[in-house]
């Protein structure tokens, strides 16, 4: 199985909050599953880390770079992902259930690649059909 890490999952792992790090360790290290980090998620994390750097965020940045550099599944976004994102946007907007563009792109990436999204943001992502989700925080 391949898990896509959402930005909130990564931030919880870096801050050692909830059960996120222990679930990552169990699924990836112990069970031998893999993970992916789409570049849009890396962008969200780097925005957070680099906006107002402190010693703490510098430490988190080092840990994030180690996590990102160890990714076995590089998060390419071919045209099929963008097309899927377009259809997800149209579907959500027509239902009056729109979520952020970044989240739509992350969901499309997961659906197209048949990856499971590890996120705490189940409220928004549950609006998307055919998206496999896990919440490693709780």
> What would the pLDDT profile of 22-66 be if each residue is shown by its tens digit?
999 999 999 999 999 999 999 999 999 988 878 888 899 999 999
Cα angle 113, 19, 39; round to 5? 35
As a whole-number percent, the residues of the chain with pLDDT over 70 amount to 99
Calpha distance 106→102 (Å, rounded): 6
State CA 59 to chain mean position distance: 20
Q: What does the block give as tokens for 65?
A: 């770079």
What domains lie within the chain, and their CATH numbers? 2-134 (3.40.50.1010)
State CA 51 to chain mean position distance: 20
Look at residue 112 in the predicted model and tell me its pLDDT: 96
Q: Indicate whether 100 pLDDT > 90.
A: yes
For residue 71, name the pLDDT band (cuts at 50, 70, 90): confident
Cα angle 137, 58, 20; round to 5? 10
Q: What does the block give as tokens for 84?
A: 């899927």
């Amino acid at each position: 199985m391949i898990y896509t890490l959402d930005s909130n999952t990564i931030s919880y792992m870096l801050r050692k909050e909830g059960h996120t790090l222990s679930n990552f360790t169990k699924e990836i290290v112990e069970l031998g599953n893999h993970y992916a980090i789409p570049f849009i998620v890396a962008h969200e994390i780097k925005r957070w880390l680099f906006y107002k750097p402190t010693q703490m965020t510098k430490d988190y940045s080092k840990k994030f770079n180690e996590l990102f550099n160890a990714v076995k599944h590089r998060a390419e976004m071919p045209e099929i992902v963008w097309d899927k994102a377009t259809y997800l946007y149209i579907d959500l907007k027509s239902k009056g259930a729109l979520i952020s563009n970044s989240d739509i792109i992350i969901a499309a990436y997961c659906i197209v690649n048949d990856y499971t999204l590890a996120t705490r943001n189940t409220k928004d992502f549950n609006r998307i059909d055919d998206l496999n989700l896990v919440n490693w925080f709780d």
